[in-house]
Chains A and B, each alone.
Chain A
């Protein structure tokens, strides 16, 4: 995956707040993923419009962090989710 790619949550994948465990989860076919704060922050910005670069910009601003550090992390995170079928990509 690259900075210009636009990630999206395909049909059948959705975020859900688990009221019993008090944690955000990502639900997909045969898979449940518990989300930490960073994961949730990335997925909240994964709207099928924003590119990875834009998501990284936004995160860098919000969390006052180094953009150069954030972008590779975002790519790695979404890449992993893509391999597990949670995320699709629209190529730029």
Chain B
């Protein structure tokens, strides 16, 4: 490494892997951490303070379902005391009026509510949880009443991408300030269901058109962030804005990861917050330095004009698809790995009827 790494801006705290839903696209690892291994309230509070001292500004409380932690309110209090901008990423299940008001008093800054579909029929089938949609809509109303700024996080895939216009309308109806239209990324459990989730080419064209139109129409009213379906892109996404450059993830058991899927990369050594100060993990941890900067890159990326734009793309995707974490992301059209990705995409497209989901249970 030539230049010293910058301090991190954001931390994703995966408070628990427990979740009442069973989404077929869950990006959490296929091996989940058990409840007994979860960090205590005190340890999390200490990690939040360390993160703030290190330069983290934004904290995302995530999971699994973070509301499955009975100490969620205390954790938010600790995060705000540490001076962090605190965002709750939730499905809404496990929140009620009393708890939301307590989170308000605790100083929670922002709520990001996930959306599995725009009708109960669709959402409950995808989430694998009957009655979930109704409860979510109730939670959304409460969020609005209390006044939390709301982002709707709509996870899109073959089965619901055609509902995109109605999804955007729903964001307006719920008074969301921002919508994140996130096409499923194939990590973790989502890989198992890739064929069922992969959108069709026509859907992707239409979705892009819908987004472009909505961005114009709703300028100043609704912020729209669009994560396009990876396999249909020509170049990879900028993974984590550069490995070990901007953010870090802490898993329920205290393992610190450069990205939440990084555990699938064999040979990476991960530190735990119980054993080592967060500062040392960030600056000196072997997993963080493994793909930091440009030294690790294959020649193709080293000499590419997009080197500092996409950083060679997603390491986990290179691992998952090519079995080589140091290869250029196979989404890249310049890379030899693209042929492998195209073959998968062609396979996915062959099935006219989407195959059945394998639920995460």
Residues of A that sit less than 8 Å from B by CB = 10-14, 16, 18, 20-21, 25, 27, 29-30, 32, 82-85, 89
Contact = CB atoms under 8 A, between A and B. Distances in A.
B54 A20 contact: yes
Given A12-B109, A16-B85, A29 B57 contact: no
A84 B219 CA distance: 9
A32 B57 contact: yes
A89 B221 CA distance: 10
Contacts of A13: 149
Instruction: Report, as a range, how many residues of chain B touch the other chain.
Output: 20 to 34
A29 B178 contact: yes
B87 A29 contact: yes
B110 A12 contact: yes
Contacts of A85: 177-178, 223
Interface in B189-226: 219-220, 223, 225
Contacts of A30: 58, 87, 110, 112, 151, 178, 180, 225
Given A21-B55, A84-B223, 17 more contacts: A11-B148, A11-B149, A12-B148, A12-B149, A13-B149, A14-B85, A18-B57, A20-B55, A25-B57, A27-B85, A29-B110, A29-B149, A30-B87, A30-B112, A30-B180, A32-B57, A85-B223
A83 B218 CA distance: 9
B20 interface: no
B165 interface: no
A29 B219 contact: no
B147 interface: yes
Contacts of B54: 20
Interface string B19-32: 00000000000000
Interface in B332-354: none
B42 interface: no
A78 to B, nearest CB: 11
A18 B178 CA distance: 25
A29 B108 CA distance: 11
A11 B112 CA distance: 15
A41 B21 CA distance: 46
B149 A20 contact: no
Contacts of B178: 29-30, 85
Contact of B220 (A11, A12, A29, A82): A82
Nearest to A27: B85
Contacts of B223: 29, 83-85
B121 interface: no
14 contacts: A12-B110, A12-B177, A14-B85, A20-B53, A20-B54, A21-B55, A27-B109, A29-B178, A30-B110, A32-B57, A32-B85, A82-B220, A85-B223, A89-B220
Given A27-B85, A29-B177, A84-B223, A11 B147 contact: yes
B129 to A, nearest CB: 26
Interface string B126-165: 0000000000000000000001110100000000000000
Contacts of A82: 220
Contacts of A29: 87, 109-110, 112, 149, 151, 177-178, 223
